[in-house]
Amino acid sequence: MSGYCRATYRCYDEKADFGKKAQGIAVGLTVGSWTDLPEARKAEMEKHLGKVVSVTEVPAAESPTGERYADIVIDYPDINFSRDIPALLVTVFGKLSMDGRIKLIDLDFSEDFLSAFPGPKFGIEGVRKQLGVENRPLLMSIFKSVIGHDLPNLREQFFRQALGGVDLIKDDEILFENPLTPLEKRVEACMAAAAEAKRETGQELLYAVNLTGPTFKLAENAKRAIRAGANALLFNVLAYGFDALAELARDPEIHVPIAAHPAVSGAIYPSPHYGIAAPLLLGKLMRLAGADLVLFPSPYGSVVMPKEENMALKDALTSDGLPLRKSFPVPSAGIHPGLVPLIHRDFGLDVVVNAGGGIHGHPLGTAAGGRAFRQAIDAVLAGEPLREAAKRHDELRAAIEAWGIKE
Q: Which positions are annotated as active-site residues?
A: 95
Q: How far apart are CA 239 and CA 265, in angstroms?
A: 9
E strand or H helix that includes residue 318: helix 307-318
Q: Enumerate residues 345-384 that contact its own copies by CB under 8 A.
A: none
Q: State which of residues 119, 137, 262, 370 lies at the interface with its own copies (CB under 8 A).
A: 262
Which DSSP string corresponds to 10-38? Answer: EEE-SS--HHHHHHHHHHHTTTS--TTS-
Q: How far apart are CA 282 and CA 284, in angstroms?
A: 7
Q: State which of residues 1, 43, 60, 174 lies at the interface with its own copies (CB under 8 A).
A: 174
Q: Which long-range contacts (CB under 8 A, 24 or more apart) does 400-407 make?
A: 400/337, 400/338, 401/363, 402/336, 402/361, 402/362, 402/363, 403/336, 403/337, 403/338, 403/358, 404/338, 405/338, 405/341, 406/300, 406/338, 406/339, 406/341, 406/342, 407/341, 407/342
Q: State which of residues 81, 109, 117, 158 lies at the interface with its own copies (CB under 8 A).
A: 81
Stretch in the footprint of its own copies (CB under 8 A) among 53-61, 106-114, 117-125, 173-181? 173-181
Q: Enumerate residues 267-296 that contact its own copies by CB under 8 A.
A: 267-268, 270-271, 273-276
* 240 touches its own copies by CB under 8 A: yes
* 234 touches its own copies by CB under 8 A: no
CB distance 8 to 96 below 8 Å: no
* 84 touches its own copies by CB under 8 A: yes
Q: Enumerate residues 292-351 that contact its own copies by CB under 8 A.
A: 297, 303, 305, 333
* 90 touches its own copies by CB under 8 A: yes
* 31 touches its own copies by CB under 8 A: yes
Q: State which of residues 111, 177, 401, 407 lies at the interface with its own copies (CB under 8 A).
A: 177
CB distance 190 to 208 below 8 Å: no
Q: State which of residues 56, 65, 82, 115 lies at the interface with its own copies (CB under 8 A).
A: 82
Which of 144, 181, 184 has the alpha carbon at shortest distance from 164?
Answer: 144
CB of 61 to its own copies, least distance (A): 23
* 87 touches its own copies by CB under 8 A: yes
* 173 touches its own copies by CB under 8 A: yes
Q: State which of residues 17, 145, 323, 348 lies at the interface with its own copies (CB under 8 A).
A: 145
